[in-house]
Amino acid sequence: MKQTLVIVPTFKEKEKIVKLLHSLAHVPQGTVKLLIVNGNPGDETSVYLRQLHNNAILEIKGSPELFWSGLVNLGLEHVLRHAEDPEFLILMNADIEFDTDILTPLIAKARANPNAQIAAVTISGRRVVSSGVKVQSWWLMINRHPFAGTLPERLPSEALIPVEFLPARCTLIPFAAAKRAGLVAERDLPHYAGDYEYTNRLRTSGFPAYIYTGSQVRVDAKNTGTSVFHKPLSLKTRITSLFSIKANYNPVYRLRFVRMAYPWYAWPSAMVMCLLRSTVEVLLGGNAVKFLLRRKESGFAGL
């Protein structure tokens, strides 16, 4: 049986790594090999991993100068250079948790649907949050987040839902797709939207993207980057962090994302919508925007 390799970027997150490994203990031994890309090598996370003496876990040394895309690329480069033709790769965030074996059904679903890239449903605060993005209008940047705001028990069973963009919280991609697409666009999208651009690039290369309701992970949406939709940020904070690499309302990265992922004919109108959205989100804040638009979920996925 070919390997499935899991790439986990992390930076000073020992406690999250401990919880993630506790979750992964539910997965049968030998199912996956874990590549933890540490952006702060030599820290307490490194010490903890060495103490495990687990051959199924490999720490890859990163650098504090790297953000999400750069750390993921170190993992991808390692796999593309050294792995012996694995079957699948899974891009996984360090801050997810789960109580059952979610990877075996995810892998089985991928084998039943060749070439598909498949993401687990994400839950926060007992509700589904954005687990993928379905574009309804490229021109106007109108998107839908399937199941956002839904109770997990109301999800359809074992369903595959087609989307355009996937987050990399727990997303499986065929190794053949990674070989064709190469690396994440680190230079243009060092942190936010790097996963959306990458999974969209895979999709347009013949690897369709899906959300899979049969695998579910939990995440604390209030503790993930700088988001006007998940944190009660003051107007001053929203303005001063507008051009932060970790701000998901940064107009620079939104414009780059449109140029890279949207069809050319939609660029003019979509770029105008980018600037309008960033302006409104900064001035009003996330709660006001969601109330006015009657949206269950928003954020960078709502570009």
pLDDT reported for residue 284: 77
- pLDDT at residue 301, rounded to an integer: 39
Question: What's the pLDDT score for residue 231?
Answer: 56
> What pLDDT shows up at residue 85?
85
- To the question of pTM greater than 0.85 for the whole model, the response is yes
**All residues at 6 or more sequence positions from 300 whose CB lies less than 8 Å from its CB, including other chains:** 192, 193, 196, 227, 248, 249, 254
Query: Which domains does the chain possess?
Result: 4-221 (3.90.550.60), 235-302 (no CATH)
pLDDT digits (tens, 9 = 90+) for 229-248: 555 677 777 788 888 888 88
Instruction: Please give the pLDDT value at position 283.
Output: 81
Q: What pLDDT shows up at residue 226? A: 52
pLDDT at residue 295, as a whole number: 57
For the chain, which ranges sit under pLDDT 70? 1, 221-232, 286-303
